[in-house]
């Protein structure tokens, strides 16, 4: 029996050393003392692992100040609990890698167009992992627009990589993006906590992506956002994506991670209140296809936004089991627009086959209601909304019922783009074939606007759609509507 | 840009407001807005000003504040140095007040709470950005201060003294920014507030040369080539 135990212990030690040995960055000269710039040592460890076909680069507990880290094929960065990889502040002598040249910068923001000016970056790689319960801090990155060489603006930037797995890490104060993944095939993001000063995850032109069990607090920009930019120099859809079991919010920066969930800073830089939502767009030269969002919580942030405005086709989207609280603009915002920030001649896109079900929302801003709006000649098609309950703030008078919101075809898409809307619940314009089933709307304060504004709507079936109406207020404003069925 | 000055308080107007900057000192439990100093001697220095400050909080010491407007953008750069300064002295400043259409000059207070509503301050170590205006017409001012600066949000309704302001916290409807760094005799510190463009894009290590360049200019000029970064898209600073 004793001999058998010894064999077992020996086996465990062997297995343990096999799993955790890796390439310890301290063996390559990293200090982890919070003072030394450790990126040369970290990059040496990565090179050493690559030289033997790949491996795990291990960060033991400590604070590793770093400039750009260059991922390679078959590399795993593993941050042990207590390890902090921190973006250092650039100096006149040292800093992050310069942004690589790109011919396509005019079609998307500076941050989207370059990858090398980042803390961790990889281009054209395969089999990459970033794991462990450590923290990656973008302390020395900027969220702003500086073009000074040496300034970095992304925590993790990946372009045209295959097989990416990021799990368990915590990302804080990450600059423009906690993660920018563009043109990535097969990516899993799981059990990641993000508390940041601009975007959380930007998943751009990616295919086959799993996002699960993540918490993203991003009060000053979108928390989880799917895009289809022209950064690759070609049109590419974002498709085959599932987002599930996630929490997104717009609490004061850092207050999700410390567990205090503060609300002292309600305003966002764009002056439209805290962001922190799940969104598709704005960059939408390519399209969005076969995407599901399920079992997610939105809190103290903007609502769900699906936008295609640069020519992309959005279709076959399924969203279910969403709960929202303290939403600062439209709980649900669907916009097909014609901004066309794409190569000249790109036609207007399309939005169709969108299913949204089992949404409960409490304390939603009432200025804009839920918006589903295409543009003249390009309607949003085949939308189903079912089992939805929304409690709005309410409080608007019937004087606003005469407002005719502008079309603003080319304007940046946000619920605020139409100004105050004339209805209390839903604003539907340029829509073809919409079904609303088992939908309940109520108000914390009486709202004297009609529940629905319908304009240029062809085919609208409402079944068990309940909303309280004040005396003398009509249920519908209708302009150029055909095929309306309103059934109890 | 019109740069309004009242002692060591400054207001930016270009032609819409770009906020207000107000400077002070903290020494232990004592503090003082520089404008209330016992002695302020101001003189014109080419295109800018030089202000000599003396006050009991400085003991026998003296603080020199030199200010230059910027050529390549709307903004200013400050140089602060001192001699015989007491140990533990800290320079503290307040910045904010973008929420108004016209430059408001009050004799009693240069940074009014009603000018601060919905101002948003991004803080990045020793750099900061103020967002203000409206969603349709968003405005941005940027700033850089010494590397050791601590930045925090503060309450423009609590400005009776620098110390009160520094400790006022962020629970307010009048958010403003507070910055503070230690001052040592013989050391030189720089502060810059500006509107970023292709020519004006600063880190702290660029400020000494920037100040020297501006101080050497004898006449007021504006660089007409200064434009926003060419690849700032139409939706710059949107979400």
Using the beta-carbon criterion (under 8 Å), do B124 and A271 form an inter-chain contact?
no
Using the beta-carbon criterion (under 8 Å), do B135 and A414 form an inter-chain contact?
yes
pLDDT at residue B47 in the model: 85
Q: How many CB pairs under 8 A join A and B?
A: 101
Using the beta-carbon criterion (under 8 Å), do A282 and B129 form an inter-chain contact?
no
Using the beta-carbon criterion (under 8 Å), do A271 and B132 form an inter-chain contact?
yes
Using the beta-carbon criterion (under 8 Å), do B133 and A271 form an inter-chain contact?
yes
pLDDT at residue B57 in the model: 98
Spatial distance between the Cα atoms of A60 and A64, rounded to a whole number of angstroms: 10
Nearest-Cα distance to chain B for A79, in Å, is 24
pLDDT at residue B6 in the model: 75
Nearest-CA residue of chain A relative to B130?
A269
Nearest to A268 among B120, B127, B142 (CB): B120
pLDDT at residue B230 in the model: 39
Spatial distance between the Cα atoms of B235 and B239, rounded to a whole number of angstroms: 8
Task: Indicate which of A146, A276, A409 best probes the interface with B, i.e. most B CBs within 10 Å of its own CB.
Answer: A146
pLDDT per residue as tens digits for the range A131-164 = 999 999 999 999 999 999 999 999 999 999 999 9
Task: Indicate which of A90, A112, A226, A270 best probes the interface with B, i.e. most B CBs within 10 Å of its own CB.
Answer: A270
Spatial distance between the Cα atoms of B108 and B129, rounded to a whole number of angstroms: 26
Spatial distance between the Cα atoms of A387 and B64, rounded to a whole number of angstroms: 68
Nearest-CA residue of chain B relative to A269?
B131
Using the beta-carbon criterion (under 8 Å), do A282 and B118 form an inter-chain contact?
no
Nearest to A264 among B135, B171, B239 (CB): B171
Whether the link from the prior residue into B69 is cis, omega within 30° of 0, is: no
Nearest-Cα distance to chain B for A36, in Å, is 17
Nearest-CA residue of chain B relative to A276?
B239
In chain B the beta strands, taken as DSSP E runs, fall at 2-6, 9-13, 17-27, 30-33, 39-45, 48-54, 62-69, 75-83, 90-96, 120-124, 127-133, 138-144, 150-155, 175-182, 188-194
**Could you tell me which residues of chain A have a Cβ less than 8 Å from any Cβ in chain B?**
89-92, 105-106, 108-110, 113, 139-148, 151, 197, 220-222, 252, 264-265, 267-272, 275, 282, 339, 341, 412, 414, 416
Using the beta-carbon criterion (under 8 Å), do A271 and B233 form an inter-chain contact?
no
Nearest-Cα distance to chain B for A454, in Å, is 26
Residue whose token pair is 């301290």: A26
- Give every CB contact of residue A176 below 8 A, 6+ residues apart in sequence: A111, A141, A142, A143, A153, A154, A198, A199
Nearest to B233 among A142, A271, A341 (CB): A341
Per residue of chain A (488 residues), give pLDDT as tens. Answer: 455 554 544 444 444 444 456 999 999 999 999 999 999 999 999 999 999 999 999 999 999 999 999 999 999 999 999 999 999 999 999 999 999 998 888 899 899 999 999 999 999 999 999 999 999 999 999 999 999 999 999 999 999 999 999 999 999 999 999 999 999 999 999 999 999 999 999 999 999 999 999 999 999 999 999 999 999 999 999 999 999 999 999 999 999 999 999 999 999 999 999 999 999 999 999 999 999 999 999 999 999 999 999 999 999 999 999 999 999 999 999 999 999 999 999 999 999 999 999 999 999 999 999 999 999 999 999 999 999 999 999 999 988 888 999 999 999 999 999 999 999 999 999 999 999 999 999 999 999 999 999 999 999 999 999 999 999 999 999 999 999 999 99
Nearest-Cα distance to chain A for B171, in Å, is 6
Q: What is the DSSP letter of A236?
A: -
Nearest-CA residue of chain B relative to A282?
B239
Nearest to A106 among B120, B202, B233 (CB): B233
pLDDT per residue as tens digits for the range A395-438 = 999 888 889 999 999 999 999 999 999 999 999 999 999 999 99
Task: Supply angle C-alpha A91, A65, A50, rounded to 5.
Answer: 110
Nearest-CA residue of chain A relative to B206?
A92
Nearest-Cα distance to chain A for B218, in Å, is 28
Q: Can you give the pTM of this predicted structure?
A: 0.94
Using the beta-carbon criterion (under 8 Å), do B120 and A89 form an inter-chain contact?
no
- Give me the average pLDDT of each 10-residue run along chain B (239 residues): 70 77 96 95 88 96 95 94 98 91 56 91 98 90 97 97 98 97 98 94 97 86 48 40
Q: Are A158 and A115 in contact (CB under 8 A)?
A: yes
Using the beta-carbon criterion (under 8 Å), do B231 and A221 form an inter-chain contact?
no
pLDDT at residue A250 in the model: 98
Instruction: List the alpha helices (DSSP H) in A261-319.
Output: none
Q: Are A376 and A404 in contact (CB under 8 A)?
A: no
Q: Are A26 and A44 in contact (CB under 8 A)?
A: no
Spatial distance between the Cα atoms of B182 and B187, rounded to a whole number of angstroms: 10
Using the beta-carbon criterion (under 8 Å), do B120 and A151 form an inter-chain contact?
no
- Other beta carbons within 10 Å of A413: 27
């Amino acid at each position: 029996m004793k001999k058998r135990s010894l064999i077992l212990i020996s086996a465990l030690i062997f297995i343990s050393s096999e799993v955790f040995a890796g390439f310890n960055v301290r063996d390559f000269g990293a200090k982890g003392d919070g003072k030394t710039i450790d990126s040369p040592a970290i990059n040496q460890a990565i090179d050493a692992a690559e030289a033997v076909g790949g491996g795990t680069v291990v960060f033991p507990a400590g604070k590793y100040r770093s400039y750009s880290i260059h991922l390679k094929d078959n590399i795993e960065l593993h941050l042990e609990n207590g390890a902090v990889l921190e973006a250092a502040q650039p100096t006149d002598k040292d800093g992050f890698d310069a942004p690589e040249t790109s011919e396509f910068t005019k079609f998307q923001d500076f941050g989207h167009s370059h990858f090398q000016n980042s803390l961790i970056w990889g281009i054209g790689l395969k089999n990459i992992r970033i794991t462990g319960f450590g923290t990656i801090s973008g302390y020395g990155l900027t969220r702003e627009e500086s073009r000074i060489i040496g300034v970095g603006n992304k925590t993790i930037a990946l372009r045209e990589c295959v097989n990416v797995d990021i799990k368990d890490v915590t990302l804080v104060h990450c600059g423009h993006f906690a993660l920018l993944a563009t043109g990535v095939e097969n990516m899993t993001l799981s059990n990641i906590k993000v508390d940041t000063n601009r975007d959380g995850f930007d998943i751009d032109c990616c295919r086959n992506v799993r996002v699960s069990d993540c918490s993203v607090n991003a009060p000053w920009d979108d928390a989880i956002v799917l895009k289809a930019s022209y950064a690759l120099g070609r049109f590419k859809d974002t498709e085959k994506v599932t987002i599930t079991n996630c929490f997104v919010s717009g609490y004061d920066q850092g207050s999700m991670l410390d567990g205090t969930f503060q609300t002292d800073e309600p305003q966002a830089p764009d002056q439209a209140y805290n962001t922190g939502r799940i969104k598709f767009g704005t960059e939408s030269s390519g399209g969005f296809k076969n995407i599901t969002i399920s079992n997610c919580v939105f809190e103290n942030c903007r609502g769900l936004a699906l936008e295609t405005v640069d020519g992309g086709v959005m279709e076959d989207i399924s969203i279910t089991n969403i709960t929202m609280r303290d939403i600062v603009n439209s709980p649900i915002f669907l916009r097909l627009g014609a901004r066309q920030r794409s190569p000249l001649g790109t036609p207007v896109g399309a939005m169709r086959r969108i299913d949204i079900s089992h949404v409960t929302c409490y304390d939603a801003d009432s200025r804009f209601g839920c918006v589903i709006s295409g543009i003249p000649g390009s309607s949003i098609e085949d939308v189903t909304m079912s089992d939805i309950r929304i409690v709005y703030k309410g409080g608007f008078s019937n004087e606003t019922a005469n407002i005719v919101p502008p079309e603003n075809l080319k304007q940046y898409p946000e619920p605020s783009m139409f100004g105050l809307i004339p209805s209390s619940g839903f604003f539907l314009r340029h829509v073809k074939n919409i079904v609303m089933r088992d939908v309940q709307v109520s108000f914390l304060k009486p709202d004297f606007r009609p529940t629905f504004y319908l304009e240029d709507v062809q085919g609208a079936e409402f079944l068990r759609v309940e909303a309280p109406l004040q005396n003398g207020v009509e249920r519908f404003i209708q302009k150029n509507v055909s095929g309306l069925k309103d059934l109890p | 840009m019109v740069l309004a000055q009242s002692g060591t308080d400054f207001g930016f107007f270009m032609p819409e407001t770009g906020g207000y900057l107000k400077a002070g000192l903290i020494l232990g439990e004592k503090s003082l807005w520089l404008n209330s100093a016992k002695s302020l001697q101001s003189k014109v220095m080419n295109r800018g000003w030089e202000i000599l400050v003396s006050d009991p909080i400085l003991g026998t010491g003296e603080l020199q504040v030199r200010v230059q407007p910027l050529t390549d953008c709307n903004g200013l750069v400050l140089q602060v140095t001192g001699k015989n300064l007491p140990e533990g002295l800290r320079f503290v400043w307040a910045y904010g007040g973008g929420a108004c259409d016209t430059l408001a000059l009050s004799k009693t207070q240069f940074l009014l709470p009603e000018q601060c509503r919905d101002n948003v301050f991004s803080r990045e170590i020793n750099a900061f950005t103020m967002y203000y205006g409206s969603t349709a017409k968003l405005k941005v001012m940027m700033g850089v201060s010494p590397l050791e600066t601590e930045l925090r949000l503060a309450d423009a309704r609590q400005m009776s003294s620098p110390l009160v302001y520094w400790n006022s916290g962020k629970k307010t409807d009048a958010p403003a920014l507070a910055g503070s760094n230690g001052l040592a005799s013989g050391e030189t510190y720089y502060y810059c507030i500006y509107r970023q463009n292709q020519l004006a894009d600063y880190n702290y290590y660029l400020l000494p040369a920037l100040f020297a360049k501006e101080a050497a200019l004898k006449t007021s000029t504006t660089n007409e080539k200064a434009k926003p970064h060419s690849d700032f898209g139409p939706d710059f600073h949107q979400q």
